[in-house]
Amino acid sequence: MSDPRPADYATAAAATLRDTPEVRTAITAATRTFDAHRRAAYAQVAAEEWRTWMEGVKNHLLTHLADYLEQAEEQLTRNGVHVHWAGTGDEALAALGDVVDAHGVGGVVKAKSMLTEELGVNAFLEQRGVRVRETDLGEYIIQLLGEPPSHIVGPAIHRSLEDCQALFHRELGTSPDATPDELAGAARDALRSDFLSADLGISGGNFLVAESGTVALIENEGNIRLSTSVPPVHVAFVGIEKLLPRFEDLSGFLQLTSRAATGQAIGTYVSLIQGPRRADESDGPTEVHVILVDNGRSSLLADDTAWEALRCVRCGACLNVCPVYRQTGGHAYGWAYSGPIGAILAPGLLGLENAMPLPHASSLCGACEDVCPVRIPFTDILLHWRHQAVERGLASTTEGLAMRAFAGLTERPRLYGAAARALRHLPIEVGGSALPVLRNWTAERELPKPSVRRFAQLWKDGIA
């Protein structure tokens, strides 16, 4: 998105829960299903070894990134692909604009890509009078609704069948009680003519293999294969961290990314694109462009703790297990990437001052770390950003004061004992209002009644 709004997280989350309680129901149900599929798919393979291997390959790639970027450029160029380098989002859009102008592009079909959401590609094209059609069914739904995606893999999971029936009735003239099959059929018919008439197909890239210059894309519908095969020109936006060293590395990455995302052994369609159509081929684009996008990634790479977030393969598994994400879905985060991965990427890619309070949108339960196919240390990185926020005066002052007071108490045993004694004698029914910092907590919950005896005493008595 061109206009990130993480600062509104608290109000947006509260509004989602208050005004659209059905979103929580839909998101929770969908993420539980995604996660059940992932769990079953991990159990079928040596998932722990696969995860360690993926982590290792990405660490190797990232710590040799400049060399691999040069190799990828060389190989892509040899394959006949036009390579563009974009330090910023604006440079990436300008590279796209050049292609659009050179070919007089009027219509674009787009495959689902989080990077193009990050960059605001659709708004950019529409401002130039180019007609953009999202072709992934979920992306198509939210494009018709004028909404951003709420999940990395399932952009429309916050919307129910009833929502889609009403939308398609209005937009495509289907019957108000059309079945999912009928709705999908109507979307296919509407989009088929877009595929056949488009001047340009735009995709992201799950992986870009340096050794072979291969752009790899995973999907289930066939819209990515069509977007990259039917129009005469294909532009792929690829983040610089998406490289892989070797062609055969794809074997592990294609499989575990699919298992982590949807529980499939592999996505229904995988496209491995080396370049434009060759003389002995009857179809395919005659021109292929790869736009290598930095847009904050190299500064994230420079952070000694948070650089590990760049291993991310965008599977969405961390969203599916996150008790915080499950309450609201992705819109509250105010940015293309939501959930745990959004909370650790935002400070790196947007700057910490523009990402607050997302590092706090987590209970630090660590469920994301248990499922991440590249073993990103989410908790360490969240705490790292929180530390930085306190040091730079970006954290809430109440929290800073409370933590400093608590630290002071714990360093003075006698004072700590006195404070604990005072707490035990606090009339519990007025505890909430007597302790204003707890009011948000006690508004929804019973404050636990403290034990009448000190912990130290319980310990001594052998009861603890």
Partner 1 sequence: MSAREEILTRVRKALADREAHAHPGDFGSWQAEPSGSIVPAFMEAFTSTGGEVVRVADEAQAGAWLREFSADFSGTAIGDGVPMALRPPLAAAPPAAADLGVSMATSGVAETGSLVLGARDGRRTQLLPPTHVVFLHTSDTVATLKEALNAMKGTLPSAIGLHSGPSKSADIGQVLVRGVHGPGRVIAVLIGADQ
Q: Which of 78, 192, 392, 421 binds partner 1 (CB under 8 A)?
A: 192
Residues 344-373 that bind partner 1 (CB under 8 A): none
Could you tell me the sign of the dihedral formed by the alpha carbons of 450, 453, 454, 460, in that order? negative
The only residue of 239, 275, 330, 339 in contact with partner 1, by rule CB under 8 A: 275
136 is an interface residue for partner 1 by CB under 8 A: yes
The answer to whether 116 and 122 are in contact (CB under 8 A) is: yes
Out of 35, 134, 249, 287, the only residue in the binding site for partner 1 (CB under 8 A) is 249
**298 forms part of the interface with partner 1 (CB under 8 A):** yes
As given in the structure block, the two tokens for residue 258 are 């699919």
Residue 178 CB contacts under 8 Å (≥ 6 apart), including other chains: 165, 168, 169, 186
Residues numbered 306-335 forming contacts with partner 1, rule: CB under 8 A: 307
Closer Cβ to partner 1, 262 or 362, answer by number: 262
- Under rule CB under 8 A, which residues in 152-171 are in contact with partner 1? 154-157, 159-164
CA distance 428 to 438: 12
Report the site for partner 1 in 210-239 (rule: CB under 8 A).
212, 214, 220-223, 225-226, 228-230
* Segment near partner 1 (CB under 8 A); pick from 85-93, 350-358, 394-402, 411-419: 85-93
Helix or strand run (H / E) with residue 14:
helix 9-19
49-78 residues in contact with partner 1 (CB under 8 A) are: 49-50, 52-53, 56-57, 59-60, 62-66, 69-70, 73
How many Cβ atoms are within 10 Å of 428's Cβ, its own excluded?
15
Q: Please, are residues 184 and 164 in contact by the beta-carbon 8 Å criterion?
A: no
6 binds partner 1 (CB under 8 A): no
Q: H or E element: which one contains 196?
A: helix 180-197
Placement of tokens 């050794």 in the chain: 211
Nearest C-alpha neighbor of 92 from the set 119, 113, 112, 73: 119
Nearer to partner 1, 122 or 214 (CB): 214
- Contact set for partner 1, span 90-129 (CB under 8 A): 91
Closest CA to 109 of 136, 128, 78: 136
Quote the CA–CA distance of 127 and 122 in Å, as a whole number.
Answer: 9
Instruction: Kindly state the smallest distance separating residue 420's Cβ from partner 1, in Å.
Output: 44
Locus of tokens 């395919």: 284
- CA-based angle 325:330:334, to the nearest 5? 120
State the nearest-atom distance from the C-beta of 352 to partner 1, in Å.
17
Q: Which of 47, 86, 121, 315 binds partner 1 (CB under 8 A)?
A: 86
Residues 347 and 318: their CA atoms lie apart, in Å, by 17
**At closest approach, how far in Å is the CB of 193 from partner 1?**
10
For residues 191 and 341, which CB has a smaller minimum distance to partner 1 in the complex? Answer: 191
424-463 binders of partner 1 (CB under 8 A): none
Q: How far is the CB of 258 from partner 1 (least distance, A)?
A: 8
